């Protein structure tokens, strides 16, 4: 019998977005001649991929560089260095019409829908403008497409003639999502898209984003400071501190066993719905503020606030490396040792009266 020919392994699917060594510095100018005397290192060498149909969560404190990173990936601001590939096409070097055509494939949902929607335009006009600018479909079919977009995000088409101030916060954010979907993008950045909403509405918007991702095959970069929402939506999570990724890995594993003390501190700040567990939890409370990105500390940038820092942390910058031979990446000198911050959520021993 002839030997059967082995079936070749399928080619791995390339990522929708591939970011390598992304840097965004803002120059500091001073003096009468406005000479450059320094730089604000808002994003300082960030790399990650987002696969087809995947959601990458991006978390960190205010001032860590999350929004600047999002704007740099979408080329809403020019990058200082690095590469951004959208389905294999370099984005950082595009200009003019070539850049506009690429932007139709990557869109953004902003934090404040009231500020991002034109107050002088009706909801129908806002969505129609997104179709016209990106030349989506035939002009005769665009009114029907506007109604489809509203229904897609769970809104009544009767709202077409209303203005943004006449809608609730949740409705406005749904309009913002519909506008982002108008050019039929492959990649969507949600920059704190639920931060300005009531808690009950936040869950609705997160569920809507998850449904749209599954139905339309979208890829998300979901930026938030709320780890509980990120854990619900994201497949993987990247933790950003002072412009650098300090941990990257699967959402459940990262939240259950944080490999970096900064990740543990962020998780410690998330309240537990169980009041007894909440009362017994030991917390990792960070001292001080995030250092200035214009003058980051030497060594590990987190060492000025880390209760577990050693002399090595103060002089040697840790590399982002694999943890425990898994797919997780951690930038911490002590990640391979027994991590004391993982015992923080253990219940405290009961205190007996003297």
Q: What is the pLDDT of residues 157-185, one digit of tens each?
A: 999 999 999 999 999 999 999 999 999 99
Which positions ≥6 away from 354 have C-beta within 8 Å?
A: none
pLDDT at residue 343 tops 60: no
Per-residue pLDDT at 36: 84
Interval 110-161: pLDDT, tens: 988 888 899 999 999 999 999 999 888 888 999 999 999 999 999 999 999 9
Domain containing 270: what range?
Answer: 252-338
In a domain, 245, yes or no: no
In a domain, 79, yes or no: no
- The CA-based angle 241-246-247, given to 5 degrees, is 125
DSSP assigned state of 335: S
Tokens 């939240």 belong to residue: 255
Q: Output the six-digit token pair for 65.
A: 């560089």
Q: 33: number of CA atoms within 13 Å, CB side?
A: 3
In a domain, 129, yes or no: no
**Domains held by the chain: number:** 1
In a domain, 346, yes or no: no
Element (H, E) at 148: helix 142-152
In a domain, 108, yes or no: no
Q: Which of 350, 282, 340 is nearest to 310 (CA)?
A: 340
Whole-number Å distance between alpha carbons of 186 and 184 = 7
- Is residue 353 within 8 A of residue 276, CB to CB? The reply is no
Interval 259-293: pLDDT, tens: 899 999 898 887 777 676 666 667 777 887 888 99
304: left (phi over 0), alpha (psi -120 to 50) or beta: alpha
Q: How far is CA 269 from CA 31, 99, 197, 283, in A?
A: 42, 40, 20, 7
Q: Residue by residue, what is the 3-state secondary structure of 237-253?
A: EEEEECCEEEEEEEHHH
Per-residue pLDDT at 229: 85
The CB density around residue 110, as the number of other CB atoms within 10 Å, is 21
In a domain, 127, yes or no: no
Per-residue pLDDT at 76: 92
Whole-number Å distance between alpha carbons of 31 and 264 = 42
Q: What angle, 0 to 180 degrees and rounded to 10, lies between the N-to-C axes of helices 169-181 and 142-152?
A: 130
- The pLDDT-based confidence of 346 (bands split at 50, 70, 90) is very low
Per-residue pLDDT at 137: 85
In a domain, 318, yes or no: yes
In a domain, 277, yes or no: yes
Dihedrals φ, ψ of 114, to 5°? Answer: -65, -35
């Amino acid at each position: 019998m002839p030997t059967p020919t082995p079936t070749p392994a399928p080619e791995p699917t390339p990522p929708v977005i591939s970011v390598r060594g992304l840097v965004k510095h803002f120059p500091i100018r001073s003096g009468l001649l406005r000479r450059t005397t320094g730089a604000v290192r808002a994003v300082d060498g960030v790399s990650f991929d987002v696969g087809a149909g995947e959601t990458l969560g991006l978390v960190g404190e205010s001032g860590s560089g999350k929004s600047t990173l999002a704007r740099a990936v979408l080329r809403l601001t020019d990058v200082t260095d690095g590469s951004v590939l959208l389905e294999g096409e370099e984005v950082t070097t595009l200009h003019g019409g070539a850049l506009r055509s690429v932007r139709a494939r990557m869109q953004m949902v902003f934090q404040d829908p009231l500020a991002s929607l034109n107050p002088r335009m009706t909801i129908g006009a806002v969505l129609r403008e997104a179709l016209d600018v990106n030349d989506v479909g035939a002009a005769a079919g665009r009114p029907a497409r506007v109604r489809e977009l509203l229904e897609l995000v769970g809104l009544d088409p009767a709202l077409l003639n209303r203005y943004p101030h006449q809608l609730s916060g949740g409705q406005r954010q749904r309009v913002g999502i519909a506008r982002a979907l108008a050019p039929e993008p492959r990649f969507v950045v949600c920059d704190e898209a639920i931060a300005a909403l009531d808690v009950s509405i936040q869950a609705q918007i997160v569920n809507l984003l998850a449904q749209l991702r599954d139905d339309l095959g979208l890829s998300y970069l979901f930026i938030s400071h709320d780890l509980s929402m990120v854990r619900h939506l994201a497949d993987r999570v990247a933790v950003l501190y002072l412009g650098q990724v300090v941990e990257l890995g699967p959402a459940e594993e990262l939240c259950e066993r944080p490999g970096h003390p900064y990740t543990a501190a962020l998780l410690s700040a998330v309240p537990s719905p169980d009041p007894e567990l909440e009362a017994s939890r030991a917390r990792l409370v960070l001292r001080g503020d995030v250092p200035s990105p214009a003058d980051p500390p030497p060594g590990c940038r987190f060492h000025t606030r880390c209760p577990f820092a050693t002399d090595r942390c103060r002089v040697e910058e840790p590399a982002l490396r694999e943890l425990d031979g898994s797919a997780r990446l951690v930038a911490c000198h002590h990640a391979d040792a027994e991590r004391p911050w993982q015992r923080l959520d253990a219940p405290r021993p009961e205190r007996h009266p003297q």
